[in-house]
Structures are given as C-alpha cells and as structure tokens.
Chains A and B, each alone.
Chain A
Amino acid sequence: GALVYQYPRRTICKSGTSMRMECQAVGFQATSVAWYRQSPQKTFELIALSTVNSAIKYEQNFTQEKFPISHPNLSFSSMTVLNAYLEDRGLYLCGARGNSQNTLYFGAGTRLSVL
C-alpha cells in the first residue's frame, strides 16, 4: 500500500534558527507533494504544492524565501523553515500523491516548537 513517512516527528529550535523536515513516499511515485501547516484552530493551511518537473507553487502568505522546498525525485521531498519564530510553531504535514491521482497520502507530521 501507499505510505508516507515524515520525520522528525517533533523538533525544537531556538528562535531565529532553521529546521528541515523530510517526507518519504513508499509504495507509489510521489509526483506531487503538498505541504500544509495545521493552525492552532486545527485548520490545514496549504503552504505550497510541489510537482516534479514543474515550478513549486506557494500560497499567499508563504514564500520560498521562508519555506524552501526540495523535491528531487519521485519518493522524497523536504521543506525547511528558515529563521523560525514563535508564529511558525505548529504541526507541519506533507501529503503526497501519484500521477493522475486525487488522493493525498499524509505523513504523521512534524511538530515544530520554537524557544
């Protein structure tokens, strides 16, 4: 079956430092990877959608300069939170899907705490 592993599960960083989270797809080819942040109100905010061989599309209020994403092959994607501050705290989720699929398969998330 299709599985998505996301790591680390939890991370703590000092204010102003950066942290990287990774997403690994198993059992299917992840042609698209979407990165979300779960808000304190539990809403899934879309950060960006990365599709292999296409430009990464960032949503309003999220930028490449703050959340650079790498999607080098059909099984792996990573996202970095640069210069993390308190407002960047939360649960970050990656969702991956294969070509011509609508269903997203999610990782368990990376919970970011900022001191």
Chain B
Amino acid sequence: GDSVTQKEGLVTLTEGLPVMLNCTYQTIYSNAFLFWYVHYLNESPRLLLKSSTDNKRTEHQGFHATLHKSSSSFHLQKSSAQLSDSALYYCALSDPQGGRALIFGTGTTVSVSP
C-alpha cells in the first residue's frame, strides 16, 4: 500500500542555520500529490507546501521542496531557520483524484534555539 517515510523524528538546530527534512514515499499512483503540513501546538495543522510537477520546486514562506519522482522524494528545506519554525512537520501523500484520505508520515519535530 501507499506509505510515507520521514526518517528524522527530531531535528534540533540553531537559529540561522539551514534545515532539511527528509520525506520519501511509496505509491501506486504515478501522479500522486505530496504535501508538507506544519502543526503548532494547540493549532490546526496547516498546509505549508503542495507538490507541483516532477522536478519543479514549490516555495512558500521561505520553505521549498521539489518533487523527484525518480527518487520518490519531497524533502523540505529552508535556508535559514527561525525560532518560529519550531513545530511538528508532516509529509503527506494523496492520490491524484483526491478520492482517498491523505496518508501521513510519522512527523518530524523541529526545535530551533537561539
């Protein structure tokens, strides 16, 4: 079945440094969509990025990710982490038609310190 793997459970870094969160996936769909959601405590999980076409970079709020079908990856990156980036980050996968629920990875906690 479909699955999403986030290998880092916790990422700790100092403010100003770059951050990359890994996301790989398995799916039967050649045109699946990949997403990054950010979840702050006591708030709704919020969409951060949605994948575009193969090898095209998508950006939002300083974060960016590129869908690479050849490696089944959709890694999240930011060039300079901020304290406010401390949160839970989830990578998720959807079938092309949106007929099934999102499949989530296990999440990565990002902790940014001064």
Contact = CB atoms under 8 A, between A and B. Distances in A.
- Interface magnitude class on chain B: 20 to 34
Contact of B42 (A34, A42, A108): A108
* Residue among A46, A102, A104 with the highest chain B CB neighbour number at 10 A: A102
A87 B100 CA distance: 26
A97 B107 contact: no
A44 to B, nearest CB: 4
Given A41-B106, A43-B106, A106 B44 contact: yes
Contacts, number: 57
Contacts of A78: none
B44 A100 contact: no
Contacts of A102: 33, 35, 50, 94-96, 98
A75 interface: no
A103 B50 contact: yes
Interface in B8-39: 33, 35, 37
B43 to A, nearest CB: 6
A42 B50 contact: no
Interface residues of A, number: 25
A32 B98 contact: yes
B79 to A, nearest CB: 25
B98 A101 contact: yes
B58 interface: no
Interface in A76-114: 93, 95, 97, 100-109
Contact of B44 (A44, A49, A97, A108): A108
Interface of B: 33, 35, 37, 42-47, 50, 88, 90, 92, 94-104, 106-107, 109
Interface of A: 4, 6, 32, 34, 36, 41-44, 46, 49, 51, 93, 95, 97, 100-109
